[in-house]
Structure 1
């Protein structure tokens, strides 16, 4: 802000404009915001707390996801394409935090003028749209990858080249859709206050209102409706297949209970993806559409408060993705625990879960027929334990002799033996979701 008030010649009816004897107007630039919303100390503190906490959680959570994938890449299945997509989703959410949150809070809600150099106006607006579209389209790619993996289980798995090409297409498509914003974005001085104080706002300067309205409709369809419909189609189809899958062979209570828990967890996660995306982005998209249709609403005093709440809700979507996609996956959860244990302060509060996650059966007691000979077996990862009991023909020699052996298949990298088709489906979902 300027230290001295600016003086111009003209007429105006602004509350913080004063008329001098010579007909000139004086405007106090130090009181630029005047009675504009969010200028009180309490309102700004609330804004900083809400957006600040969201910024820290989203940036920290998504950065932790990227680091966990890189750190545990040797422990995860190398052809798991979801790892690539989750990292790309985290990068998109990080960009949303960098380009959308700070400028929206400071320039739009607090100071009401563009704080950065004017040359960055178009660049920031462009990457705001790119980041949002990359996040949305990565969700679509993840859903389609899961759909193909479940519906066409016996087809050869696609390699990493497929994942890299898909990510490249996501970025190119997001940039192509956002290109009009790069062209029309520029700084302007909307009224005499900005001219006197040499302040600018960063906005989209469309030559025709119909073009702006058409582009808003296009963004609503491409950024929200199309991804939402694809998510619904993919995850409803997956939920039907997963819930209808029955284990082959005779019924076993423990096995069936494990499968039911796995199905319930999978369906809850799929529902969470769709519900969170709908709740976060629908209100803000509708508000943008209403603001373009009815320009009179822009003069409503309460609009900034509504805009701030819905904008915060939309931006907070970046906070939930790390929990939905990674926290519910055992390999990622283990990787995050291992990383947190490297921090001395956090180490004491993080439980050691590696033993529980890597062991499928621990300390199975084996009691002899005489009730005295006890032993135990351990089964870890993909090691299959075989127990045989041999009875001697001569019953006078005491209890039968039992022997134990095990066989490991080192080529498998799953958390347990995958001898049955339904077990393979269950483990694959937990690793990739």
Structure 2
């Protein structure tokens, strides 16, 4: 079968993205599995997200590329027919349930920080539950699709992979998948992130206002102490007054310094670090919703029409759907590197060989220096306010 030049370019780009996605997500799984410092609840969920991306990028999406070049007939057999139609739902459901678990864990960690937090063993159990629930949601789709023989002309037949369910049950299954694997999880995620953003905004305003009150109170105490000492000057000698004044001023200075140590710098740095992770997770959730929206739209439309959309594999809508699905398994690692310095350092340690080891260390040192400068800037800001 001859392919057009545009389709060859498209297939090449998609193949390169898939190779990058599989390799980079495999690195993330290795980092979480082998690095003890990276084993926390958040990173366990991130590793599980990468695992589902590996399954999609290595087994499911390549079959879509094959279908683009062999759209006329389905020669892959019964098992691949079920895998092509059931595994996307299985992996997508596992991914979005993992994103929901991430949003719940982050909300509990930030909004309810005084309560007992999710442990590593509990996170691992949740990951197992995520895959079990994903299997339950996707099981009807595995059963629904099968290879059938379709007659075109006299003595001419082709093999087609499509739904074997009654149309009513097929539509019901499609709507259930849409709600359980896309709509409801997105609502839960956005609810959690809205709560986090509202909480952080309140805390930010309180942290900004809090240092001024102790400082003012300390200054008032100092003025009150000085006035009392001036009253004592009339009844005591100069030596006693001088000693009491020096002790009072030194005590006030120590109180201000203690307030500075307990004030904005540490809270500001911790706040900035948490907000970076929240921004990363929100971007991941937004991109996930955008990239998989065409897939769910075409899934529901195909079930309502009573036919698979494979008849128009080379159509522009199907090409956009495949491109966005491919992009969804490749951008996560890039976001981890940008927003998470721990992943950035771990990936650089694995990727860099001896020849570029020094360059990678220089990059990491520069990143750490910028973070230290940010901390010093916060300390200078509080000192100037004091």
On whether the aligned pair clears a TM of 0.5, the verdict is: yes
The answer on 1:68 being equivalent to 2:31 is yes
Counterpart position of 2:159: 200
> What is the DSSP-based 3-state SS (H/G/I as helix, E as strand, rest coil) of the residue aligned with 1:241?
helix
CA offset at residue 273 of structure 1?
Answer: 2.6
1:257–1:167 Cα change, 3 Å = closer
**Maintained 8 Å contact 1:106/1:112:** no
CA offset at residue 241 of structure 1?
Answer: 1.6
Counterpart position of 1:244: 202
**Maintained 8 Å contact 2:60/2:88:** yes
> What is the DSSP-based 3-state SS (H/G/I as helix, E as strand, rest coil) of the residue aligned with 2:78?
coil
Instruction: Give a deviation string over 1:103-153, Cα, whole Å, max 9, x none.
Output: 111125544333434344324433332111111111111111111111110
The structure carrying a bigger strand percent of its residues is: 1
Distance 2:144 2:151 in 1: 20
**Which consecutive residues of structure 1, in runs of 5 or more, have no partner in the other structure?**
1-30, 32-38, 365-415, 417-433
| RMSD of Structure 2 on Structure 1 (CA) | 3.6
185-194 vs 230-239, greater mean Cα deviation: 185-194
Distance 1:279 1:158 in 2: 29
The structure carrying a bigger helix percent of its residues is: 2
Q: Which of the residues 183, 205, 223 maps onto 2:181?
A: 223
Instruction: Give a deviation string over 1:287-344, Cα, whole Å, max 9, x none.
Output: 3223333469969969732112123213321112223345411111111111122364
Counterpart position of 1:314: 325
CA offset at residue 356 of structure 1?
Answer: 4.5
Instruction: Give a deviation string over 1:195-226, Cα, whole Å, max 9, x none.
Output: 747x52332222x1111111111111111101
1:154–1:297 Cα change, 3 Å = closer
- TM-score by length of structure 1 reads 0.65
**Which consecutive residues of structure 2, in runs of 5 or more, have no partner in the other structure?**
216-259, 376-386
**Maintained 8 Å contact 1:99/1:128:** no
CA offset at residue 259 of structure 1?
Answer: 7.1
Count of residues in Structure 1 that have an aligned counterpart in Structure 2: 324
Counterpart position of 1:340: 351
Q: Which of the residues 325, 345, 365 maps onto 1:355?
A: 365
CA offset at residue 227 of structure 1?
Answer: 1.5
Counterpart position of 1:293: 304
> What is the DSSP-based 3-state SS (H/G/I as helix, E as strand, rest coil) of the residue aligned with 1:90?
helix
**Maintained 8 Å contact 1:189/1:195:** no
**Maintained 8 Å contact 1:86/1:325:** no
The one of the two structures with greater contact order (alpha-carbon pairs below 8 A, sep at least 6) is 2
Residues 153-172 of structure 1 mapped to structure 2, 5 A cutoff: 153-172=113-132
